[in-house]
Amino acid sequence: MFGRCRSVSVFEKLNRIGEGTYGVVYRAKDTKTQEIVALKKLRMEREKDGFPLSALREISLLLNIRHQNIVKLKEISVGRNLESLFLVMEYCEQDLASLLDNMKTAFKEAEVKCIMLQLFHGLSHLHQNFIVHRDLKVSNLLMTDKGILKIADFGLARKYALPLQSMTPNVVTLWYRAPELLLNAKTQTTAVDMWAAGCIFGELLSHKPLLPGRSEIHQLDLIIDLLGSPNDAIWPEFSSLPAVQNITLKSQPYNNVKTRFPLLTGPGLRLMNFLLMYDPKKRASAEECLNSSYFREAPMPCEPALMPSYPQHRNMPAVPDAHRFEDSNTQNHPGYVRDPRINK
């Protein structure tokens, strides 16, 4: 899988960008080509014996994915021994979490449409290749200085096949977690990514998280406040979900999406509701979203190159002791942590 890998010592450490599901991410410079890259050190301590399965999954998936809206794995680099492994990825100047946290005003609707279209293009490619990301959130969506969106952090991604196999339910950061996951569904589909995309859509429009739950029960309460209470009429498998037998959900009969987003047009509201369907079998696919009339009405999506530019929060000055990477001290290197929501 790895072929001939360069030593990580050829990269100069510039600053810490953040922390993904299974590793710390740094901005670094290739001293041979002078190219700026993102360097992700994979965590190895999670596995006592052998190479961590999560790392193999991420490497395997990224090596086989090539799409404009998915972050590109350029090469794999090694430390002093094979137990220290780094993913060398294309560098993106921004991530949506930092942009949202530092912008004084919300994105314009044409800009939201530009971002969401790119997200749906990337998701369509993943899902057509039977890949579920399982951790979509604004901090895992990167932006280049040319306005190109890139889906990143595939540490929890999985290949799926029919018939569906059981997967760990406690994936996807809480605020973006689909109701079937909160209710311990035994199988997962691409619909979990589409629910997260709906949460991201709402966050971009309102400039704040759509469903910022503090616990799984609170998360369900917020979903019910927005969409009304689920039942077997709208979600036939609802009563058979494992957690439904053990909890009492609040009763709320109204869908409040229109109240929450009063400026959204009919097509925009239909798209939002289609993404936030309780029943994962009825939830919008990425391909259906790309064909939504919301993207064909005024204001039209702006071109990526016309997206506004912002200060580069990921491009911090080099730390005082910046030097060539050595795997002995990379893990504990101090630096900028991208966004507090990344570990929630």
Confidence of residue 169 (pLDDT cuts 50, 70, 90): low
Active site residues: 135
CA dist., res. 141 & res. 61, Å (int)? 17
- Select 1-91's CATH number: 3.65.10.10, 3.30.70.20, 4.10.490.10, 3.30.200.20: 3.30.200.20
For residues 172-176, give the mean pLDDT: 90
Question: In sequence order, what are the beta bridge partners of 151?
Answer: 70, 141
Helix (H, G, I), strand (E, B) or coil at 226: helix
Residue 328: is its pLDDT beyond 90? Answer: no
Share of the chain above pLDDT 90, in %: 62
Per-residue model confidence (pLDDT) at position 109:
98
Amino acid, single-letter form, for residue 83: E
Amino acid at 298: A
Mean pLDDT of the chain: 85
Check residues 88 and 315 and name the one with the higher pLDDT: 88
Give the model's confidence band at 335: pLDDT under 50 very low, under 70 low, under 90 confident, else very high.
very low
Q: Are strands 73-78 and 6-7 parallel, antiparallel or unpaired?
A: parallel
What pLDDT is recorded for position 330? 38
Alpha carbon distance 8, 18 (integer Å): 19
> What pLDDT was estimated at residue 331?
36
> Does 341 have pLDDT greater than 50?
no
Q: Which fold has domain 94-305?
A: Transferase(Phosphotransferase); domain 1 (1.10.510)
CA angle 26, 28, 30 (to 5 degrees): 150
From the CB of residue 295, how many other CB atoms can be counted at a distance below 10 Å? Answer: 18
For the annotated binding site, the residues are 40
Amino acid at 296: R
- Cα(267)–Cα(301) distance, rounded to whole angstroms? 14
User: What pLDDT was estimated at residue 232?
Assistant: 96
Q: What is the pLDDT of residue 288?
A: 98
225 pLDDT above the threshold of 80: yes
The reported pLDDT for the residue numbered 199 is 99
Per-residue confidence (pLDDT) for residue 165, from 0 to 100: 52
Q: How far is CA 331 from CA 26, 85, 262, in A?
A: 10, 12, 46
Contacts of 34 (CB under 8 A, 6+ apart): none
User: Dihedral through CA 311, CA 315, CA 320, CA 325, nearest 10?
Assistant: 180
pLDDT in tens, 285-314: 999 999 999 999 999 999 999 998 776 655
Whether the Cβ atoms of residue 257 and residue 269 lie closer than 8 Å to each other: yes
In the chain, which segments carry CATH 1.10.510.10? 94-305
- Residue 214: partners with Cβ closer than 8 Å, 6 or more residues away: none
pLDDT at 342: 36
CB of 150 closer than 8 Å to CB of 179 = no
User: Which structure tokens are listed for 245?
Assistant: 């037998």
Where in the chain are all domains bearing CATH 3.30.200.20? 1-91
Mean pLDDT of 7-14: 91
Average pLDDT over residues 29-46: 86
The helix-helix angle for 191-206 and 109-128 (nearest 10°) equals: 170
For residue 322, the model assigns a pLDDT of: 47
| The token pair that represents 208 in the structure block | 């704040």
110 pLDDT band, cuts 50/70/90, is very high
Task: Quick: pLDDT tens for 54-75.
Answer: 667 778 888 889 999 999 999 9
Question: Which residue ranges make up the annotated binding site for ATP?
Answer: 40
The pTM assigned to this predicted structure is 0.87
Backbone angles phi, psi at 61, to 5 degrees: -65, -45
